[in-house]
C-alpha cells in the first residue's frame, strides 16, 4: 500500500504552518550560531549536546511535514464495508456517504475522516486515525526542542562562562540581546501552548476519547469499557513496540482492531 499524500488548500492553514516553520528555522539557525557553537569552541560544552539539538530539531521537522501531508484517514466515496461490520457503519448526513462509527465530517476539508480528533490549522490538516501518531510526535518533539533551546538560552547568560572570542562584525553578535529576547518570547509562548495541547491529547488517548467526542459529550465512561493505556497507545501508533512510538520515519501499520465502538459522533 503506497503512501497517501493529503494536501489541504487553505490559506489560513498555510499562514499558521508558515509561522511554525519560521519559529523552527529561527531556533535551528540562531541558537547554535549564538550559543552552542561559540561555547563549544571555547570548551564550555561537549559536542554531543549540539548533535542532540540537531537530532531533536530534525525529528520535529519530519513529524511536522509528515503530519501535514499524510492522509488522516479520508474515506473513499465507495468504501468496501466488511459484511460482519455493516452494523457498525452509518450514513453521514453532510456528504451522504457511509462511514465507520466515530468518524466525523470535517467542514473545512469537506470530507469524512476516520476517528477524527480535530482539524489543526498549525499543520493545515485534520488529525485522524492515520496521522494522529505523527501529531503526537510533533507535540512531543516541539516541547522537547523548546525546552532545550530555553535551557541553553538561560545557561548562556546565567551559567556558562562569558565568551572570550566575539566577532562584533557579525549581525547576530551585535544584536544578540534582541535576538535572544525574541527567541525566549517565542519559546515560552510555544511551551505554554504545546504543553496544554500535548496534555489534552495524552488524556484523550488514555481515556480513548477524541476531542470532538469530548466537545459533543457523547462518550460516557459507563457506556464503554476502559482499555489499558498500553492498548490505546498501541492502536494510535500502530505498533506495540514502545520504542517505535518515537520514530517519525517509519510507516504506520494499523493494528487489526474493529471499527466499532460503543460511542460515536
What is the tens place of the pLDDT at every residue in 159-200? 888 888 777 777 777 888 899 999 999 999 999 999 999 999
| CA max distance for the chain | 74
pTM beyond 0.85:
yes
Average confidence score pLDDT of the chain: 86
Does residue 258 surpass a pLDDT of 60?
no
**Grid coordinates of 12:** 489560513
pLDDT score of 259 more than 60: no
Angle CA 115–91–226, to nearest 5: 35
Q: Say whether pLDDT at 218 is over 70.
A: no
Quick check: helix, strand or coil at residue 111? strand
pLDDT of 263 reads 40
Active site residue 120: yes
Element spanning 159, H or E: none
Which of 60, 106, 112, 120 is the catalytic position? 120
Amino acid at each position: 500500500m503506497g503512501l497517501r499524500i493529503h494536501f489541504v488548500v487553505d490559506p489560513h492553514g498555510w499562514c499558521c504552518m508558515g509561522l511554525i516553520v519560521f519559529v523552527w528555522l529561527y531556533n535551528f539557525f540562531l541558537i547554535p550560531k549564538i550559543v552552542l557553537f561559540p561555547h563549544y569552541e571555547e570548551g564550555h560544552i561537549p559536542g554531543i549536546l549540539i548533535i542532540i539539538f540537531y537530532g531533536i530539531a530534525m525529528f520535529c521537522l519530519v513529524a511536522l511535514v509528515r503530519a501535514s501531508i499524510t492522509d488522516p484517514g479520508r474515506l473513499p466515496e465507495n468504501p468496501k464495508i466488511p459484511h460482519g461490520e455493516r452494523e457498525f457503519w452509518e450514513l453521514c448526513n453532510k456528504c451522504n456517504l457511509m462511514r465507520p462509527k466515530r468518524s466525523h465530517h470535517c467542514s473545512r476539508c469537506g470530507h469524512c475522516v476516520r476517528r477524527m480528533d480535530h482539524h489543526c490549522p498549525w499543520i493545515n490538516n485534520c488529525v485522524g486515525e492515520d496521522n494522529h501518531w505523527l501529531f503526537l510526535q510533533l507535540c512531543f518533539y516541539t516541547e522537547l526542542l523548546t525546552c532545550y533551546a530555553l535551557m541553553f538560552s538561560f545557561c548562556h547568560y546565567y551559567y556558562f562562562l562569558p565568551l572570550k572570542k566575539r566577532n562584533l562584525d557579525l549581525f547576530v553578535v551585535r544584536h544578540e540581546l534582541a535576538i535572544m529576547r525574541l527567541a525566549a518570547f517565542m519559546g515560552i509562548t510555544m511551551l505554554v501552548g504545546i504543553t496544554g495541547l500535548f496534555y489534552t491529547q495524552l488524556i484523550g488517548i488514555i481515556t480513548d476519547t477524541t476531542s470532538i467526542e469530548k466537545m459533543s459529550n457523547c462518550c460516557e465512561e459507563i457506556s464503554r469499557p476502559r482499555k489499558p493505556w498500553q492498548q490505546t497507545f498501541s492502536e494510535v501508533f500502530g505498533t506495540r513496540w514502545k520504542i517505535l512510538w518515537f520514530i517519525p520515519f517509519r510507516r504506520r501499520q494499523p493494528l487489526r482492531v474493529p471499527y466499532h465502538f460503543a460511542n460515536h459522533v
